[in-house]
Amino acid sequence: MDCIFCKFVTGEIPVKKLYENEGAVAFLDISPLSKGHSLVIPKKHFVKSFEMDSQAWASVADAISQTSKLLVEKLGIKDYNILQNNGKLAHQEVQHVHFHIIPKTDSSGLEIKWNPIKIDTDSLFKFLVE
């Protein structure tokens, strides 16, 4: 497999690890949006989040929590974004599930523009659950 994140997991390519558990690893992003911008990835290769099993989710959730605490304590930040993209249209650049933890200290970092649409949620709900 030619996945750069899998090479981070195996140690073939070194990364600045911040936290690691049995199923996930957290490390500093090499193209950060802000100081402390980190990535959390499952050690097993998954392309999209719905592919992850409950064990992978638990490992990733632990790594996100522990890394967030580290960034808050060491950098003195109060606010941060946790971002996860699924697929090219959703801006997923590396096809291995990964979560960004992006510290916010000012207007730098992640910027989000919310563009709500009008939709009949009653009809959509019925379609989705029936």
CATH of domain 4-129: 3.30.428.10
Residues assigned a catalytic role: 98
Which of the four pLDDT bands, split at 50, 70 and 90, describes residue 107?
Answer: confident
Per-residue pLDDT at 13: 94
pLDDT tens per residue, range 20-79: 999 999 999 999 999 999 999 999 999 999 999 999 999 999 999 999 999 999 999 999
Say which residue the tokens 């974004």 belong to: 81
Average pLDDT over residues 108-120: 83
pTM: predicted TM-score of the whole model, two decimal places: 0.90
Indicate the range of 29-43, 67-81, 83-97, 106-120 predicted with least confidence.
106-120
What's 81's DSSP letter?
E
Which of the four pLDDT bands, split at 50, 70 and 90, describes residue 92?
Answer: very high
Q: Residue 1: pLDDT above 80?
A: no
Question: For residue 33, how far is the Cα from the chain centroid?
Answer: 13
Residue spans of the domains in the chain: they are 4-129
Q: For 15-54, give the DSSP string.
A: --EEEE-SSEEEEE-SS-SSTT-EEEEESS--SSGGG--H
CA distances from 28 to 2, 21, 92, 108, 130 (A): 21, 16, 17, 17, 43
